Amino acid sequence: MVGIDKGMDRRSFLATAGAALTSTALHAAVRKTRAVTGPAKADHTLRIAPTRLEIAPGVVIDTIAYNGQVPGPLLRLREGVPVTIDVTNNSPVPEIVHWHGLAIDSLNDGAVEEGSPMIPVGATHRYQFTPNPTGTRWYHTHAMAMDNLAAGAYTGQAGFLIVEGKKQAGHEGHYDQEINLAVRHWEPSFVPMVDMLREQSANVPQTNGSDVGYKYATMNAHMLGAGEPLRVKKGQRVLMRLLNASATENVVLALPGHTFKIIAMDGNVVPNPKSVEVLSLAVAERVDAIVEMNSPGVWVLGSTLEKSRQMGLGIVVEYAGQKGAPVWKDPAPVEWDYSIFANPTKAADPDETFVLTFRDNGHKMDSKFDVWTINNRSWPDIDPLVVQKGKRYRMVFRNGSGDQHPMHLHRHTFEVTQIGKTQLSGLMKDVINVMPLQSVAVDFVANNPGDTLMHCHQQLHMDYGFMQLIKYAG
């Protein structure tokens, strides 16, 4: 069943919901979710509800979260083993959960554009699917926020989802400790673009309209220096799973005195594991990295931007037997390059190519924010891309703007085949960050029939038109 009446687009739905949470218009817009079927008891349960977090002494955040925690509960699933997850919505607005990176059906994927139902206030919805593929996936809200910065991805609704199987993603033998770290930004506010340009940022903003700025940042539930440090021992191999669960902010991270051996991206084994001192995570990207603990001391794992660390974006790493103030050392400047983790060979030719140009189309809808377009069309007034099952398709992302765009494809994994003039193959992802004025090509095989959403994962861009559906012919 579809969660929104066909006559009401997602943007209009959120405007109605925000204006009158208890109105008859809201309840007309949200249809009843499917009845809970299958086993009487679900394999996992999640409760979406208001939550109060103390991210540092005296710093309290009121947000919406899963089971009262940020990140939400770690879900470990088995590849190919069907699972049921009951989600109860005790938040004040209709909600939905997207199972990011899984090749599942459109109804359970968790996007209203594909036909997934919204979960009404007070209702429980059962998601049923067979997890695939293995690797570091995650789950998060896929609700619109528009100009409500207390909704959607601006809240704490995100959690790790690990799919385990016989071919677990690239963990290269043993590791002594596993650490999952999710980046979050808190207390968002509207900031004119001209003000953003005056400050160094991990993002490169446009010069008109408004952007979103933040007051605090955390790794998991605490700001840098608050909460418990990561405790390690000399000689350990630590598997770090790093997730950028921010609504709009790309981040660059380092751990002085150490390197990250990147073995998987977005949960998928990289063809060419490499050790780097600095790693970049666009919104929604994940990295699996092995860190050799061979530099005893007390260190800061955090943002390479001083202002971001002052906001809280970091965590202390403490070796056994070591004490003292945590140390930060600026790494040497370096440009992030996806291609070093890929094969340097040309990918297979596609059956068809879609060239997609992204631009900012200025202010509309009486909003502080700009509307985004794909080939001069903006959601929902944009025709779908039509594909045929079994064929290989290339999407050429041409960024005609001054913003970075982390492009996400639902329900499929794509192969990165060209960045600028550099051809590559073998690098499989579900999010790719397209830099300002850059062109990036990705290929996917149409092997999972059903409506499929493609969009920029920055909440602000997605809300204001930066989405397009892919439909299977026939």
**Chain mean position to CA 238:** 23
Give the integer Cα–Cα distance in Å for 107 and 116: 4
pLDDT at 195 over 70: no
Give the pLDDT score at 362: 67
**Chain mean position to CA 394:** 22
Per-domain residue ranges of the chain: 10-164, 177-336, 352-472
Give the pLDDT score at 193: 55
Please state, for a pLDDT cut of 90, what percent of the chain lies above it. Answer: 82
Contact of 110 with 127, CB cutoff 8 Å: yes
State mean pLDDT over 152-177: 84
CATH class of the domain comprising 177-336: mainly beta
Q: Which of 294, 276, 314, 299 is nearest to 236 (CA)?
A: 294
pLDDT at 350 over 90: yes
Element at 309 (helix H, strand E): helix 306-311
Does 27 or 97 have the greater pLDDT score?
97
What is the CATH number assigned to the segment(s) 10-164?
2.60.40.420
417-455 pLDDT tens trace: 999 999 999 999 999 999 999 999 999 999 999 999 999
Give the pLDDT score at 204: 44
State mean pLDDT over 25-51: 68
pLDDT at 240 over 90: yes
What pTM did the predictor assign? 0.90
Give the pLDDT score at 361: 81
Compute how many other C-beta atoms are within 10 angstroms of the C-beta atom of residue 275: 13
**How does residue 29 score in pLDDT terms, banded at 50, 70 and 90?**
very low
> For residue 425, what are its two tokens?
């193959």
Element at 28 (helix H, strand E): helix 24-29
pLDDT at 9 over 50: no
293-343 pLDDT tens trace: 999 999 999 999 999 999 999 999 999 999 999 999 999 999 999 999 999
pLDDT at 23 over 50: no
Q: Does domain 352-472 match CATH 1.20.140.10?
A: no
129-152 pLDDT tens trace: 999 999 999 999 999 999 899 999
List the single range of 67-71, 200-204, 249-253 with lowest mean pLDDT. Answer: 200-204
**DSSP H helix total and E strand total for the chain:** 6, 30
Give the pLDDT score at 211: 85
State mean pLDDT over 379-394: 97
Give the pLDDT score at 174: 83
Return mean pLDDT, the chain.
Answer: 89
Contact of 313 with 302, CB cutoff 8 Å: yes
Please state, for a pLDDT cut of 70, what percent of the chain lies above it. Answer: 85
State mean pLDDT over 32-39: 52
217-230 pLDDT tens trace: 999 999 999 999 99
Query: What's the order of all strands across the beta sheet hosting 124-129?
Result: 59-66, 44-56, 83-89, 124-129
Give the pLDDT score at 133: 96
Does 228 or 12 have the greater pLDDT score?
228
Phi/psi at 7 (5° precision)? -80, -5
Does 243 or 30 have the greater pLDDT score?
243
